[in-house]
Chain A
């Protein structure tokens, strides 16, 4: 027998949730199931057809986010113009009511993007298993929870059994050492990591993020980081819980209180990778090497430092990559070798489960305010919108006066939802429009047919709105 080595954080969470093994698959218990209007209607219909019920409505939480409009939410679901969206929203309302599931409907201050709401409410906790019918469920990994996106048939499976059938993934550790320079944050780390390991780099693995630079991130920064784990091809991303985590959790509506808090804390503190744990693969980066980062192409791995140039297809190693780079340049309307700062933007989107929390809005507002005080507004040719991640984020931002700063500087201040992250609601790009976006996917057509997306941090996106083109936020703030 090989010598016993320690366990990784992922191993520990996995082991704590295996209910049984069947046909070579584990039946994994799910602690929290987050649901929304788009990926659930057929799952509920399937349950009904089979005469099954929701096993644990108390471990299920529903929000309306993917296709809600970002204005006029107070008018209610009946006023949603898009017929399909309206039908899905109404169906969700009926399904949660029939099954006794807690639900924050559109317009409720607690409603918002599912991956903003879970943590905000204290429903997301360390050591948990969490699933949702949305690929960016990895966000919750920031708390040291194993959080995975699932498809509709799996949603039905979890509703009926509170479990998921799964094979275990591999362990990959990404360590970021050192301290980042000014103007560099979690989004830049996340993009730089996807750039370094590629969109298939994490395939079949769960990534644990470690190192001094990760420990230095706030909970919101860690959420941004884990949000993009999926773009590196991983099943999930994890950051071990620490004092930063516990401070964030303290006093949230669903956080344990009093004696239960102490008990929970002792439990949470068991979730870390042992010193002698073995990872299948390790990647190490230095934060000092990471600049404000943007994407130039149509895959999240197509990254470039804002100080850099659009790469030439010739610089890619394989014929496949050359061809896809050529295609990406053509789609994006860019020329090889041109400085990325020459890319003139038409639209700026600050929002999505990647970057729509209060710290994101503060960092974007700081740029807007700095510009405003220097007599600059959003460039005349740019349509810029800020979409807070939840009603509570919106309320807090308004208490801090961030909405006033945004509006004064020429940004549109919207109501919460996924919005232009996926363009299912009316917030969409027109063909050929170029967008500086804080979201997570720059695929062809993701934000609207023919739309061109450049991913970046909230501060960088705000700076692009003012400059009218991609720009180094460090220069603008100098």
Chain B
């Protein structure tokens, strides 16, 4: 998992509330056996019409938002089925931070397992960011260490985050990474077992 420390990136506004995981990544993209490449299915039905032609008016298709790294979204982002493909698709598209007033639980948890930072701000703060995101300059700074979001015009908003989750995110530590901090213990354990139960060691 990639560490998240501080990000300066373009932000795109997605005003709708209750964006569910099926909208983030529709069912037909779940058949893949990979995690990579899901970005092409991200918000597919928003980005493309039934013929597969790009809808040029959708925010993520507009040239001024190319290379976007932060999404500012409406209430209850990530509701619906628990598919882990949703954070994978966002990350694959290049989005590593989503700002909203609230997130669905499972999606919120899945984000931390994958290095995507979900930031909860107050409704008026999200509203202010939405407005600025619509303007010409929309580079935002998200600083996890300081727990702040600084808008293009310099308005600073602070956010809350669980300290353990924050620490793991700063180090890029997922559950595997965390367990691997005990790698020495695993090594020691394995060598003991190799002696006590040698028949389990397959050459």
Q: Are the C-beta atoms of B193 and A87 separated by less than 8 Å?
A: no
Which residues of the partner chain B approach A153 to less than 8 Å between Cβ atoms? 84, 113, 175
| Inter-subunit contact A160/B33 (CB<8 Å) | no
Q: Is the CB of B179 within 8 A of A163?
A: yes
Residue on B with the closest CB to A42? B35
Q: Is B50 positioned at the interface, with any CB of A under 8 Å from its CB?
A: no
A478 close to chain B: CB less than 8 A = no
B42 to A: closest C-beta gap in Å = 17
Contact A41/B33 with A157-B175, A260-B198 known, Cβ cut-off 8 Å: yes
Is there contact, CB below 8 Å, between B186 and A22?
no
Within 8 A of A (CB), among B179-196: 179-183, 185-186, 189-190, 193, 196
Summarize B's interface: helix, strand, loop or mixed: helix
State which residues 323-373 of A face B: CB under 8 Å.
none
Number of A-B contacts (CB under 8 A): 83
Question: Which chain A residues lie closer than 8 Å to B183 at the CB level?
Answer: 161
Chain A residue contacts of B57, Cβ below 8 A:
none
Residues of B contacting A88 in the complex (Cβ-Cβ under 8 angstroms): 33
Beta-carbon contact of A45 and B164 below 8 Å = no
Contact B33 A163 (CB under 8 A): no
A91 touches B33 (CB 8 A): yes
Contact call B33/A45, Cβ cutoff below 8 A: yes
- B106 CB to closest chain A CB, in angstroms? 12
- Please tell me the size bucket of the interface on A: 35 or more
- A22 to B182, Cβ gap below 8 A? yes
Q: Any chain A CB within 8 A of the CB of B53?
A: no
Q: Is the CB of A165 within 8 A of B175?
A: yes
Residues of the A chain whose Cβ atoms lie less than 8 Å from the Cβ of B164? 23
- Looking at B36, B180, B193, B200, the one whose CB has the most chain A CB atoms below 10 A away is B200
Whether B31 and A46, one on each chain, are in contact in the complex, defined by CB atoms closer than 8 angstroms, is no
Q: Which residue of A41, A49, A52 has the most chain B CB atoms within 10 A of its CB atom?
A: A49
Is B36 within 8 A of A263, CB to CB?
A: no
Known: A23-B164, A45-B34, A87-B33. A160 touches B180 (CB 8 A): yes
Chain B residues with CB below 8 A from A156, complex form: 176
Assuming the A-B contacts A22-B178, A22-B182, are A264 and B35 also in contact, with contact meaning beta carbons closer than 8 angstroms in the complex? Answer: no
Q: Is the interface of A mostly helix, strand, loop or mixed?
A: helix
Q: Are A20 and B198 in contact (CB under 8 A)?
A: no
A138-156 interface with B by 8 A CB criterion = 152-153, 156
B-chain residues with CB within 8 Å of residue A52 when the two chains form the complex = 176
Partner of B189, one of A19, A23, A254, A267: A19
Shortest Cβ distance from B202 into chain A, in angstroms?
A: 4
Residues of B within 8 A of A161 (CB): 176, 179-180, 183, 186
Q: A27-B186, A45-B35, A87-B33 are in contact. Are A22 and B179 (CB under 8 A)?
A: yes
Q: Is the CB of A20 within 8 A of B182?
A: yes
Give the Cβ gap from A414 to chain B, nearest Cβ, in Å.
26
A162 at the interface (CB under 8 A from B): yes
Q: How far is the CA of A103 from the CA of B144 in the complex (A)?
A: 44
Taking CB atoms, residues of chain B closer than 8 Å to A4 are: none
- Say yes or no: is B1 at the interface (Cβ < 8 Å to chain A): yes
- B174 proximity list for chain A (CB < 8 A): 50
Type the 1/0 row for A23-55, where 1 means its CB is closer than 8 Å to any CB of B: 100010101000000000110011001101001
Q: Is the CB of B84 within 8 A of A162?
A: no
Does A260 lie within 8 Å of B113, measured CB to CB?
no
- With contact pairs A87-B31, A260-B198, A264-B199 given, residues A27 and B175 touching in the complex (Cβ less than 8 Å): no
Which B residue's beta carbon lies closest to that of A125?
Answer: B200
B49 within 8 A of A: no
Instruction: Give the residues in chain B near A260, CB-CB below 8 Å.
Output: 198-199
- With a cutoff of 8 Å between Cβ atoms, the chain B residues found around residue A254 in the complex are 202
Which residues, 146 to 190 on A, are CB-close (under 8 Å) to B? 152-153, 156-157, 160-163, 165
Q: Does A84 contact B (CB under 8 A)?
A: yes
Cβ contact within 8 Å between B178 and A29: no
With A and B bound together, what is the CA distance between A366 and B175 in angstroms? 51
Cα A29 to Cα B189 in complex, Å, equals: 8
Chain A residue contacts of B31, Cβ below 8 A: 84, 87
Measured CA separation A87–B190 after assembly (Å) = 35
Q: Is the CB of A256 within 8 A of B33?
A: no
Over the window 251-285 of chain A, the binary record of Cβ atoms lying under 8 Å from chain B Cβ atoms (1 yes, 0 no) is 00010100011011001000000000000000000
Q: For A212, list chain B residues within 8 Å (CB).
A: none
How far, in angstroms, from A45 to B164 measured CA to CA in the complex? 26
Give, as a whole number of angstroms, the nearest-CB distance from B33 to chain A: 3
B197 within 8 A of A: yes
- Name B200's contact: one of A31, A41, A42 (CB within 8 Å): A31
Checking B34, B180, B199 against A263 with a beta-carbon cut-off of 8 angstroms, the contacting residue is B199
Contacts of B36 in A (CB 8 A): 45, 49
Please tell me if A58 contacts chain B, counting CB pairs below 8 Å: yes
Q: How many angstroms from the CA of A84 to the CA of B33 in the assembled complex?
A: 9
CB distance from B177 to the nearest CB of A (A): 8
User: Which residues from chain A contact B181 at a C-beta distance below 8 Å?
Assistant: 22
Of the candidates A29, A91, A256, which one forms a contact with B193 in the assembled complex, judged by CB atoms under 8 Å apart? A29
- A41 close to B34 (CB less than 8 A): yes
A157 shortest CB reach to chain B, Å: 5
Measured in the bound complex, the distance between the Cα atoms of B179 and A184 in whole Å is 46
9 further A-B contacts with Cβ under 8 Å, apart from A20-B182, A254-B202, are: A19-B186, A19-B189, A22-B178, A31-B200, A46-B35, A50-B1, A152-B84, A161-B176, A261-B199
16 examples of A-B residue contacts, CB within 8 angstroms:
A31-B200, A42-B34, A42-B35, A42-B84, A45-B33, A50-B1, A50-B176, A58-B201, A59-B202, A84-B31, A87-B33, A157-B176, A160-B179, A165-B178, A267-B196, A267-B197
